[in-house]
Amino acid sequence: MRLRATLGIQAKLVIAFSSLLLTAIATSTGVFNQHSREALSDMLGEQARQIAQTLALAAETPYEIGDEQELLRLGQDLLRSRNIVLVVFCDSTNKPLQLACRDPDFTLTRWANSPEFRSDTTQLMQVHRRHLPSLGDFLQITAPVFDTQRDARRSGLTGRTLDTRLLGYLTVGISQNAEQMRLARVGFLSAAIACMIFLLCLPLACTLVHRIFLPIRQLAAAANRIAGGDYDAEVATDRPDEIGDMARAFNEMVHRVRHHRRQLEEANRGLEEKVRQRTAELEDINRRLSAEIAEKEEFLRAVSHDLNAPLRNIGGMASLLLMKHREKFDDEIIHRLERIQKNVEVETGLISELLELSRIKTRRQKMEPINVRELLGDVAGLFEDDLRQRQISLVIDPGPFPTLVCEKARLRQVFQNLIDNAIKYMGDSPLREIHVGCRAGQDHAEFHVRDTGIGIHPDDLPRLFCVFRRGRNSVEMNIAGKGVGLASVKSIVEMYGGRISVQSRLGEGTEFRFSLPMNSSARAENEPSREPTPATA
Amino acid sequence: MRKKCEAITILLVDDDPDCRLLIREAISQCKISNMVFEVPDGQSALDFVFRRGDYANAPRPGLIYLDIEMPGISGQEVLRQIKASPEHRHIPVVMMTGVADEAQMEQAAKNGANSYTLKPANPEQFLRTVLASTDYWMRIHQYPEHHLSPELCRR
């Protein structure tokens, strides 16, 4: 698992290839060695047999005459040859007669006492492997010695007859050392050659695998670059094989991805461009609206200043005259001056109300959640004296009132103006009651302010909410008012997206109904809103 | 109280001659006959205070009534320049305006106005206001110098 994690495919391939190669070389070397060893053994065995036969022929005469010294000489002669290590002569009863050995410590007695070396006369002319620490590995073969010459002399015939006499046995040991050494050398050589081949092959294999994997690596690198967001990555496709197919498919895929991506980017750019345009338009509109509002504010300031200043002067002059010369004037002059003052006062109030009306839409105040019942309590407190004086009862519905989110001062202005109106137009009605209530709907709250006053003439109803349009009653009854109050109410209600309506019967009373959204913040935020510019000029 | 008062020099800055007349009349209601000088615009006001041009020999005013809305140099600018001068910054300046505007009021306070008077819509009230204001500043001037803050004493 660990190996798989740390080694790449290439390394694994190289390892597999190398182990295969090593196995093949080792196997072939082993088989070769085994075969050569066997062939060598066979060859040596054959040589041993021949030597034994030749020696048997040579030893015939000494055996016959019993010349043991001659046998010993024969044996020692033989020892001089390269690979003969041991020659033993025995008589026909297998009793050892003479021994010649490379190892001087290996005596006849020791031979006779070592059963493993003693010649087995039942297995003549057969090769046996023997080992002595001083002589190493050697092949031992035992051959019989026959009296062939005497037979020939006796019969006068050449060649053997059936009547042969066993003279004794001889044993020859042939050393394997030299051959083994040669074999070892050959083995070493072949191993060295195998190693060299392997060492030569390893870089070759590495190079080969590297070359085979080159396009795959390129593909992987390209895939990585694409994963990293570089869609210009491509791979060479000129190979005719499967890797070439893969590369072509890969390039096709990359091409498509690039194409789609470009489309997406273009679409995105278009979208961004549109958003930018729209934003610019909106900003422009906003700027224009802001400028307009600022302009209006400025205009209102100027009007307020310029209308008020002469009025103040007129009034001031009248007041000064009264203050300084009251005792010199007769009653008529004093009365006229007082009328001037009174009119200036009315006009000044009118101007301030008009300014307020026009500011309803431009000078926005803080939006906050308002408990309408509390607000109504405040308003009722304002009119406490008026209500007591005129013996009017103001009834606020005990039912639930909603909490509205809007400008507190504006909402107060609505109720204040309506209740003020109701008080003013109560007249001499026997039933003197003003009723304020609410019915909360899904997203709107509907309020009503109902009085039992003198009512409004049907002809006046259509113009009721217009500025400076006062009902005929007000003139007849000399009711103080400027005709701005209801216009303000309508303006405020409609600014919040509400509606206002009125129902009235002469002599019975009037009912104003208006609706306000429960949460008018959304609309209010869409409205152009701007603080007045601090004018220092 | 008023008997102890000494006359002071009052500078009246307003572009409206009728308004100037009214204020002058209001001031004249004081028992003490103060010296009242009138200038119609900001530039003349600055010349008067800093004794330049035609006003090289002008007396140092002890109180200035300064209208904010004036053509040319505005009252705010005149105020700023007077208060920026180390020699003249101790002259009390009463700002007057016909329009209630919080931003303007704040600006006047920042520029160092000593008082801010709204010309009341009611003319009689206006006269009373001017009278009260003049009286107040006159009395401030009458305090023994060691009772006064140093900036009011240095005349």
Confidence of residue B106 (pLDDT cuts 50, 70, 90): confident
Chains A and B form CB pairs within 8 A to the count of 81
Segment 332-361 of chain A within 8 Å of chain B by CB: 341, 344-345, 348-349, 352
Residue of B nearest to A300 (CA): B99
- Provide the shortest C-alpha distance from residue A400 to chain B (in Å): 38
- The residue in chain A having the minimum alpha-carbon distance to the alpha carbon of residue B69 is A537
Q: SS3 for B51?
A: coil
Q: Residue-wise pLDDT tens for chain A (537 aa)?
A: 454 555 677 788 888 888 888 898 889 888 888 888 888 888 888 888 888 888 888 888 888 888 888 888 888 888 887 788 888 888 888 888 888 888 888 888 887 777 777 767 777 888 888 888 887 888 888 888 887 766 555 555 555 455 577 888 888 888 877 777 888 888 888 888 888 888 888 888 888 888 878 877 888 888 888 888 777 777 777 777 787 788 888 888 888 888 998 999 999 999 999 999 999 999 999 999 888 888 887 787 777 777 888 888 888 888 888 888 888 888 898 898 888 888 888 888 888 777 777 777 666 677 788 888 888 888 888 888 888 888 888 888 887 788 888 888 888 888 888 888 888 888 887 888 888 888 887 788 888 888 888 888 888 887 788 776 666 666 555 555 667 788 888 888 888 888 888 888 888 888 999 988 876 543 433 444 444 434 333
Distance from CA of A300 to the nearest CA of B (A): 10
**Residue B99 confidence (pLDDT) above 80:** no
Query: Residue A146's beta-bridge partner residues?
Result: A166
The confidence score (pLDDT) of residue A364 equals 67
Handedness of CA A44, A49, A54, A56 (dihedral sign): positive
Element containing residue A52 per DSSP (H, E) = helix A9-58
How many angstroms separate the Cα of B51 from the Cα of each of A228, B68, B73?
Answer: 79, 21, 17
Four-CA torsion A473, A474, A475, A478, nearest 10 degrees = 120
pLDDT in tens, B25-51: 877 777 777 788 999 888 989 999 888
The share of chain B scoring above pLDDT 70, in percent, equals 81
Establish if A190 touches chain B: CB-CB under 8 angstroms.
no
Any bridge partners for residue B112, and if so which?
none
Confidence (pLDDT) at B148: 45
d(CA A504, CA A161): 173
Tokens of A466: 């217009």
Report how far residue A382's alpha carbon sits from residue A53's, in angstroms, rounded to the nearest whole number: 157
**Residue B155, pLDDT score:** 40
pLDDT at A535: 38
Task: Enter the tokens of residue B136.
Answer: 């107040």
- Kindly give the interhelix angle for A331-359 and A485-495, rounded to the nearest 10 degrees: 10
DSSP code of A180? H
Question: Which residues lie below 8 Å from residue A473, measured CB to CB, with a gap of 6+?
Answer: A425, A454, A456, A457, A460, A479
Which residues are within 8 A (CB) of A36 and not within 5 positions of it... i.e. 6 or more apart?
A183, A186
Give pLDDT, residue A522: 39
Taking an 8 Å cut-off on Cβ atoms, the answer to whether A309 and B19 are in contact is yes
The SS3 of residue A503 is strand
pLDDT, residue A281, reads 94
The answer to whether A248 and A237 are in contact (CB under 8 A) is: yes
User: Would an 8 Å CB–CB cutoff place A315 in contact with chain B?
Assistant: yes
Q: Which DSSP string do the residues of A88-128 spell out, in sequence order?
A: EEEETTS-EEEEEESSTT--HHHHHH-TTTS--TTSTT-EE
CA atoms within 13 A on the CB side of B54: 5
> Which residues of B fall below an 8 Å CB-CB distance to A?
16, 18-19, 22, 25-26, 29, 69, 74, 76, 98-99, 101, 103-104, 106-107, 119, 121-124, 126-127
For the beta sheet containing B63-67, the strands, ordered from the edge strand earlier in sequence to the opposite edge, are B35-39, B9-13, B63-67, B93-97, B115-118
